[in-house]
Amino acid sequence: MPGAEPPAGRGPDTIAAIAMPPGRGAIGIVRVSGVRAPEIARRLIGRLPEPRVATFAAARDATGQPLDEGLALYFPEPRSYTGEHCLEFQGHGGPVVLHAVLGAVLGPMFGGVADLVGIRASFATVGVVVLAFAFLATLGRSEPPEPLTAAGLAEAFAAALPFYAPTLAGDLFYTALLFGGFALAQRALPALREPAPAAA
């Protein structure tokens, strides 16, 4: 019967991914396709949305803590763009939020894969920083760049250190400002010290 949930165990049954290009944006989308999409919807947002109706919902992790709020759309098979059950969560577009929602989808189902998603994102970020850091070392310099060896990379890092000092100082200043300001606000406002109530 169209729209009925098919039996589990149909090969590689479910996939999930961030359906947005890398970077920040106003809207972020996490998309799930496969036989377990209805189960994931109930776990992620607490219910199965009405088919093909944009539904306001909060995405939550395995402990019930809210991760993001947005619109959830459910397309039962076969009337979806993949021909399978599809779930789409449209929330905020920051990469941290998107990876958190994707981790909530993958974690209980695939175990360590959710951790690997975060690790992969962290290594990608480190790689971009390394490349940018080495590039800064060549700005405003007339001599040829360092050789493409480990020694050349170390030399580029050493030459880029003066450029990195203002960035480090800014990070330290704003970290102290934000976390210190929040600590002072917690002292003045007891409500900020109370943990968020668990989801029913």
Q: What is the pLDDT of residues 75-113, one digit of tens each?
A: 998 888 888 899 999 998 878 888 888 888 886 555 444
CB 90 within 8 A of CB 18: no
Beta bridge partners, 17, equal 31
Q: What is the pLDDT of residue 45?
A: 93
CB 76 within 8 A of CB 2: yes
Determine what percent of the chain is predicted with pLDDT higher than 70.
Answer: 64
C-alpha 114/C-alpha 18 separation (Å) is 13
Q: Which of the residue ranges 48-57, 90-99, 120-129, 165-174 would you say has the lowest mean pLDDT?
A: 120-129
